[in-house]
Every structure is written in structure tokens, then in C-alpha cells.
Amino acid sequence: MRDMYDVMERWGAWAAAESSGVDWQPIAAGFKGLLPHGKKARLQCDDDEGIMIDGCLTRLKKAKPDEYQIVIAHFVVGMSLRTIAKKRKCSDGLIRKNLQTALGFIEGTLAAIN
């Protein structure tokens, strides 16, 4: 079993480098004016894995749009979970729970594809 957080970190670097074909906005809704926090030298996944994860995220966006926005804000934009929670005016525990839900969804979708 793979560590989905690490997989998504690499995908986020890949997507931030404009390799992504998914129609996500470079800045998630409600998070305008924020730039990635100095994560330019991150490890990236290869194109094949990136495209597979993009497909999973497309499904996540349709099924769970709030979790999708958290994934984009955290892994692509580089926002901390605490910052996302402050922007949404909720607890960081709720954001962590939603992120875990999203990671489980993505992992399940990847397992179904393979």
C-alpha cells in the first residue's frame, strides 16, 4: 500500500508545474492572492501517474467538491491545513478529516483503475 500523502505531494508539484490537464483553477475558489509557499524544488511524479491522479481528481470534484478544493489548496497552492481552516472559518480537525476522506477516495479510485 502506498503513502497517499506522499503521492499527492508529488502530484501537487507536478500539477503546479503546469503539467496537469485537469481544469482546476490555479487558485482555488476563495483563495485568491495566495502563492505557493516556496515549494518550487519539490519532487514530481511522472506524467503517467499524474494523468491517472488527474482522472481521480475529476471524479472527486464531481462527488465531493469541498474535499476537492481542499486537495487543490493544500497540495497545489501549498496552503497549510490550518490556513485553509481559517479561510473557511472551521476547525483544522474538520479540514484534516475532509482531506483524509479525499485521499481515501483517490486511493480507492486508483485501486479500481488498476
Residue 29, class by beta-carbon neighbours within 10 Å (0-12 exposed, 13-18 middle, 19+ buried)?
A: exposed
What pLDDT shows up at residue 38? 45
> How much is the pLDDT for 107?
94
Q: For 34-67, what is each residue's pLDDT tens digit?
A: 544 444 577 888 888 999 999 999 999 999 999 9
Q: CA distances (Å), 35 to each of 2, 16, 79, in order?
A: 29, 11, 8
pTM value is 0.79
Mean pLDDT of the chain: 84
What secondary structure letter does DSSP report for 61?
H
pLDDT exceeds 50 at position 15: yes
The amino acid that residue 91 corresponds to is: S
Percent with pLDDT over 70 in the chain: 77
Assess contact for 70 and 84: CB atoms under 8 A: yes
Distances (CA, A) of 75 to 11, 34, 63, 80: 8, 13, 19, 9
